[in-house]
Amino acid sequence: MIRLEKVQKTFGLGTAGEKTVIRNLDFEVEKGDFITVVGSNGAGKTTLFNLISGSIFPTQGKILIKGKEVTRDPEYKRAKAIGRIFQDPLAGTASNMTLEDNMMITSNKGFKWPKISLTRTMRQSFQEQVKQLEMGLESRLKENVNTLSGGQRQALTLLMTVTSNPDILLLDEHTAALDPRNAELVMALTKRFINEKGLTTLMVTHNMNHAIEFGNRLIMMDQGEIIIDVKQEAKKQLTKKRLIEMFSEIKKRDFENDEVLLTS
Amino acid sequence: MIEGIFVEGLIYSIMALGVFFTFRILDFPDLTVDGSFPMGAVVMAACLHQGVNPVTGLLLAFAGGVLAGVTTAEIHNRLKVPHLLAGILTMTMLYSVNIRILSNRANLPLLRVETVLTKIHAWSEGFISAEWASLIFFLLVVILIKKGLDLFFITDMGLMFGALGNNEQMVRTQGVNPAILKSIGVGLSNGLVALSGAFAAQYQGFADVNLGQGIVVSGLASVMLGEFLLRSNRISILTLRVVLGTILFKAIMYLGRYYGYYINMTPNDLKLIAGILIIISLAAANIRNKKEKNRS
């Protein structure tokens, strides 16, 4: 589904502040994979997502999506295949527009012509979709999105992203900005939607329990490299303790100051 | 005089709808308006003097405005210039272009040529006075444009403009190139502005390259005044209040022009008044936002 070949990303190339955030990365994602991505701040997790979605381009190397090279394609050209959710609940919706407008905007991808698709049947189907969230939003389709709470907005963003049927779902700490109750709620919805649709997913998380509990593969990034990659059966056996041991073995250094452990 | 306020209000509300489109929907503060408004006027005047059909003249004026808007958007898109600077560049260049369109003149009277309005007046003569005929004509034109915009903004493309103004990332995530949307949006907006200029020239009986001075400020003041009249998130109300705001703005300007001498005001002070109106509106909006934040 996604293949990165010897991808390198250096910011400020040729300046004093030159910094390589992704180093010679080879990485392949199979169709139907649900990969959790962990690593401390600055490990390159978000940069990896930015490279896949095309909001930045690699300094070296190739990126392929669905077998097609997209290394230099701008973000909007790849967007048909990719659904991305950010940490900020405001990033996925248009605040000053109604729920139904937002849902209409995200209901199909690609260039939009001036034709009216927001019909009664469309509104009814939005209502049905929103019911799945069990947040009582079905009666609020004509309200602006900025009247919703952060948790509701993120749940709505998730719903809108999933119903646009992307090939790849990128979740960038999408529950980190929510309170614990809403975070669990959005996480449960995430799991349900991914299972229902069999979506190929990459999820960055700082929550070690989530990283171990969810998905069929776990990668840990450190200083721009994937240092741990646990798949399938091995992933099922994985515990937090084992993961920490693996990290210490590889890096010959302790884990203690990494905030990966902060949310346990 | 009261009809005059309404007629002018209606004519300028077409321009204000364009300003509303860029400033409020696209979040693209576009200063091209100061050049595209007189451009509409001079294109119309040039057409009428060439004996071109007035309707064709209006279409050409609209097209000229679109072109001006697209120029601004493309300068912004391709050269990564901030929108304000891109607008100022186009606006400044248009000053020369407009003089060219008038064959190296700064103004052109339209008293001896047939305009849309003289046609209307010739047709309505006997039923109603010329002023009322103009009023009814512009009322119909503005209703048509307003309804058209209301419909446009609920189409898939129209909604996308709203998304662009709120959250550009969302547009990219949807697989749409924001640059193209900006060109279409700013183009259409300036098309409306130029159309407004074309009507204004015919109503006033002359086209002048300086017609546009401060137009964007008066448009913005009209939009902001309207926002105090009605509160809603429905697009039909949002466009309605732009029209009402413009009429209110024109009424305030009339009062300033005719009764301002009581407080030693001259017509030269009107631009100052327009600016102060915007500042008051901004301050009032700030206070209102703060109150709402405290409440929630």
Q: Structure tokens of B129? A: 């006075």
Spacing of C-alpha B223 from chain mean position? 10
A112 contacts B152? CB cut-off 8 A: no
At B152 the pLDDT is 95
Q: What is the mean pLDDT of residues B286-296?
A: 76
* B230 interfaces chain A, CB cutoff of 8 Å: no
Please give the Cα distance from B71 to B90 (Å, whole number): 7
Considering only CB atoms, which residues of chain A are within 8 Å of chain B? 55, 74-77, 79-80, 82-84, 86, 90-98, 101-102, 104-106, 108-118, 143-144, 164
* Distance set, CA A70 to CA A56, A58, A79, A81, B42 (Å): 12, 11, 11, 11, 48
Q: Please report residues of A whose CB lies closer than 8 A to that of B150.
A: none
A97 contacts B166? CB cut-off 8 A: yes
Sign of the four-CA dihedral A71, A75, A76, A78: positive
Q: Quick one: CA torsion of B254, B257, B258, B261, rounded to 10 degrees?
A: 150
With a cut of 60, say whether residue A264 has pLDDT above it: no
Q: What is the mean pLDDT of residues A146-161?
A: 92
With a cut of 50, say whether residue B155 has pLDDT above it: yes
For chain A, the average pLDDT equals 88
Give the DSSP H or E segment for A203.
Answer: strand A200-204
With a cut of 60, say whether residue B295 has pLDDT above it: yes
**Is residue B285 within 8 Å of residue B224, measured between CB atoms?**
yes
For A95-119, how does the pLDDT look when each residue is reduced to its tens digit (9 = 90+)? Answer: 999 999 999 999 888 888 888 888 8
Residues linked to residue A93 through DSSP beta bridges, in sequence order: none
With a cut of 80, say whether residue A252 has pLDDT above it: no
More confident residue, B239 or A241: B239
With a cut of 60, say whether residue B148 has pLDDT above it: yes
At A170 the pLDDT is 95
Q: What is the mean pLDDT of residues A179-196?
A: 90
Of B154, B162, B173, the CB nearest to A116: B154
Nearby residues of B60 by Cβ (< 8 Å), 6 or more positions away = B43, B44, B47, B52
B174 contacts A105? CB cut-off 8 A: yes
3-state secondary structure of B35: helix
At A159 the pLDDT is 94
Q: Which residue of B has its CA nearest to A106?
A: B174
In 3D space, the residue among A9, A42, A6 whose CA is nearest the CA of residue A24 turns out to be A6
More confident residue, B293 or B276: B276
* CB atoms closer than 10 angstroms to residue B232: 10
**Is residue B207 within 8 Å of residue B201, measured between CB atoms?**
yes
For B44-79, how does the pLDDT look when each residue is reduced to its tens digit (9 = 90+)? Answer: 999 999 999 999 999 999 999 999 999 999 999 999
**Is residue B181 within 8 Å of residue B162, measured between CB atoms?**
no
* Distance set, CA B31 to CA A109, A149, B160 (Å): 32, 36, 22
For chain B, the average pLDDT equals 92
Half-sphere CA count of B111, side-chain side, radius 13 A: 2
At A262 the pLDDT is 44
Nearby residues of B71 by Cβ (< 8 Å), 6 or more positions away = B32, B90
Closest CA–CA distance from residue B25 to any residue of chain A (Å): 10
3-state secondary structure of B206: strand
With a cut of 50, say whether residue A261 has pLDDT above it: no
With a cut of 80, say whether residue A84 has pLDDT above it: yes
Closest CA–CA distance from residue A134 to any residue of chain B (Å): 23
With a cut of 70, say whether residue B221 has pLDDT above it: yes
Please give the Cα distance from B23 to B222 (Å, whole number): 12
Nearby residues of B70 by Cβ (< 8 Å), 6 or more positions away = B183, B186, B187
At B68 the pLDDT is 97
At A27 the pLDDT is 92
In 3D space, the residue among B150, B269, B200, B274 whose CA is nearest the CA of residue B12 turns out to be B200
Q: Which residue of B has its CA nearest to A79?
A: B175
For A33-70, how does the pLDDT look when each residue is reduced to its tens digit (9 = 90+)? Answer: 999 999 888 888 999 999 999 999 999 999 999 988 99
Please give the Cα distance from B283 to B219 (Å, whole number): 18
Please give the Cα distance from B153 to A116 (Å, whole number): 9
Q: What is the mean pLDDT of residues B106-129?
A: 88
In 3D space, the residue among A48, A78, A83, A74 whose CA is nearest the CA of residue A174 turns out to be A83
For B157-170, how does the pLDDT look when each residue is reduced to its tens digit (9 = 90+)? Answer: 999 999 999 999 99
For B4-24, how does the pLDDT look when each residue is reduced to its tens digit (9 = 90+)? Answer: 899 999 999 999 999 999 999
Size of interface A-B (CB pairs under 8 A): 101
Q: Give me the domains of chain A, ranges plus CATH numbers.
A: 2-108+119-261 (3.40.50.300)
At B127 the pLDDT is 83
More confident residue, A235 or B87: B87
Of A76, A95, A102, the CB nearest to B175: A76
- Strands (E) across chain B are located at 107-109, 206-208
In 3D space, the residue among B177, B176, B172 whose CA is nearest the CA of residue B77 turns out to be B177
What count of residues does chain A have?
264
What is the ipTM score, two decimals? 0.83
Closest CA–CA distance from residue A142 to any residue of chain B (Å): 9
Of A79, A86, A90, the CB nearest to B175: A79
Q: Structure tokens of B198? A: 């074309």
- Interface probe for B, chosen from A111, A146, A172 (most Cβ of B below 10 Å), is A111
Q: Please report residues of A whose CB lies closer than 8 A to that of B178.
A: 76
Q: Structure tokens of A88? A: 């900020």
At A253 the pLDDT is 59
3-state secondary structure of A171: strand
* Distance set, CA B264 to CA A215, B46, B208, B236, B268 (Å): 77, 39, 28, 40, 11
